[in-house]
Chain A
Amino acid sequence: MSDTLRRIEIPIIITAICTLIQVIPYYIEIEVLDNTAATLQQWVLLIVSMATFIGVISIGMVHGKRVQRQSEGWYFSGILLIVMVVMALTGLPLESMGLGTKNPVYDFLFTNVQTPLGGTMYSILAFFIASAAYRAFRARNIEASIVLIAGIFMVMSNAPIFTSMFEGFKGIGNWIFDVPNASTMRAVTIGAALGAIALAVRTLMGIERGYLRGGGED
C-alpha cells in the first residue's frame, strides 16, 4: 500500500488535474468547473498564508544558528531576530489590545527603519547604473554604438535638464520607446510565453519532474 502511495504518477496526476481545473474555466464557462476552480483558489491562498510561517521559521533557524555560533557578523543576525520578533508581536491584528499596524512601536519601526532602509536599497541602483552605463556605453563596434546612441538619447529624454534645453529629446525618446523597444519587448514577451506553454505542457505530461523529489524517475 505504502509503495503505491509513493508512486511518482500520483503527484503528476494531481498537478495535471489542478492545472486543468484552473485553465479550462478561463476559456469555457462551465458552472461546476468555475466553482471548483474558485475553491481551489481558496486552498492556494490558505497554503500561501501558511508559507509565511515557514519563512519565519527558516529565517529563525538560519540566523539563530549564526547567533548561537557567534560566526562573523552574528550581531546583525541578532538585530534581525529582535526586530522580527518585535514587529511580529506588535503587528498582531489585535486592535483591542493596542496591537496591529497602528501600534506606536510597530509604526515607529516601519516609518523610521523599514521605510528608509527599503528606499536606500532601491536607491543603490542609481550608483550601479551610473557605473555600468559609463563602462558599457562605449562605441567599440557598430552594435555597441547603436546601444550607446539609444541609451544616451533615452537618458536625455528623461531628464528635464536636457528636455528644457531642447524638447525634441522627448520626441526621440518616445520614438525609441514606441518602435525599437516595443517591437523587441513584444518578441521577448511572445518568446517567454511560448517557453511557458512548452514548460506547462511538459509538466502536465509528466516529462518535467524538477518539482518532484528533485526530478527522480522512480
Chain B
Amino acid sequence: MSLLERAQNIDRRWVYLLVWLFVLFPLLNPLGLPIPIGRDSTAWKEYIDAIPNDSVIMVSMDYGVSGMPELYPMTVASMKHLWSMTDAKNLKIVVIAFWNQGPLVFDTLLSQVDPEADYGMVYGEDWIELGWIPGGETGMAAFANDIWAQKPNDYLYSRPLDEYPIMENIRVAEDVDLVVSFETGTPGLPEWLRQWNDPYGVPFIVGCIGVSVPGMAPYLSSGQLSALMPGLTASAEYEVLLNRPGLAVAGVDAVSMSHLLVFILVVVGNIAFFATGGSRRS
C-alpha cells in the first residue's frame, strides 16, 4: 500500500494518539495565542451589562459533571460578572438546578469563589441557592406556578424561605426578570421556552456546549433566545472582555490545537484522495 493510500485510511488509534498529543501539548505549554472577540460573547456581556436595576435573575445549573469541562468556565465568569454588579444595580440572584448534579457543580464554584468575601454579597439578601428541582419539564412548570411550594427550604442551609428577605417577592415565574441557563441537554432551552418564556414572557439567555449550538440558531434568530454563549471559545472571549482571564482562556489553546489537527487530517485525507484518482473512482 502506497503512502498516499495509507494517508486516506489512517488507523483510528493513530488519530486518537495525535488528538491526545495535540490537546496535551498546549495544556503543558500554554501557547498564549491571541483570542479575537466574536459577536456571541460580546452580545452576552452587553446583555448582562444592560440588565435593569432591581432585576430578579434566576441562574439555572442545568448540567452535571460531564458538562463541566466546557460549561464550568462560563458559569464562573458569568457568576463573577453578575455578583460584581449586584450591589450597584440592586440585583437579586436565585440559583437553582433542574439537573440533579447542578447544585454539586455550584458547590465546586463556591469552593473557588466566595461571594461574600470577594463581592460583599449577603446570602439570603443579595443571592440564594435553592438547589435541585426534580421532574424535568414538569418540575419547571410546577416551579413556575409556585416557587415556594417546590422549594420550601434553601439548599445551602436547609432553612425555610420565609427566613430570607430576598424571597419575599419571588413567588412565581412572573416575579423573575431573566433566566440564565447553563445547559447540556434536557431539560434545557425547549423546556424553558415552553414553560417560562412563552407562558410568562420571562426572557432567557443560554450557555451551552458546542454540540448543542446548531440547534439554538432558530431560537436566537427569532428573538426567543436573547443571548447565547456557545462553548469554550466564546467563554474565553467573554473572559477577555471582562478582563478576567480564567479557566476558558487556559483551555482554549487546546481547542485551537485539536481544531488544527482536524484541519490537517482533512486536508491530508483529501490530497491523498485526489492524488490517487479517488475523485474519478467516485
Q: Which residues of chain A have a CB within 8 Å of any CB of chain B?
A: 26, 38, 41-42, 44-45, 48-49, 93, 95, 101, 110-111, 114-115, 117-119, 121-123, 125-127, 129-131, 133-135, 137-141, 148, 151-152, 155-156, 158-164, 167, 170, 174, 177-178, 181-182, 185-186, 189
Contacts and interface: CB of A to CB of B under 8 A. Distances in A.
Contacts of A117: 65
B278 A140 contact: yes
26 contacts: A38-B145, A41-B135, A44-B138, A48-B139, A93-B158, A117-B65, A118-B64, A118-B66, A119-B69, A127-B19, A130-B16, A131-B16, A134-B262, A139-B270, A139-B273, A139-B279, A141-B282, A158-B231, A159-B255, A160-B35, A160-B256, A162-B259, A163-B36, A178-B221, A186-B217, A189-B215
Given A155-B262, A162-B259, A123 B69 contact: yes
A38 B145 CA distance: 7
Interface in B230-250: 231, 233, 236
B277 interface: no
A41 B138 contact: yes
A117 B282 CA distance: 42
Interface stretch (B47-55, B103-111, B173-181): B103-111
Interface in B43-92: 64-70
Chain A binding surface SS class? helix
Nearest to A27: B199
Contacts of B150: 45
A101 B217 contact: no
B108 A111 contact: yes
Contact of B65 (A42, A114, A159): A114
Interface of B: 8, 10, 12, 15-16, 18-20, 23, 33-36, 38-39, 64-70, 103-104, 107-108, 134-136, 138-139, 141-142, 145-146, 150, 158, 199, 209-211, 213-215, 217-218, 220-221, 231, 233, 236, 252-253, 255-263, 265-266, 269-270, 273-274, 278-279, 282
B70 A161 contact: no
Contacts of A122: 66-67, 69-70, 209
A159 B265 contact: no
A183 B282 CA distance: 30
Given A158-B233, A160-B34, 11 more contacts: A45-B135, A45-B139, A110-B104, A126-B258, A127-B20, A131-B16, A138-B270, A139-B274, A140-B279, A161-B259, A186-B217
Given A127-B16, A174-B39, A185-B217, A45 B66 contact: no
Given A119-B65, A134-B265, A186-B218, A160 B211 contact: no
A138 B7 CA distance: 12
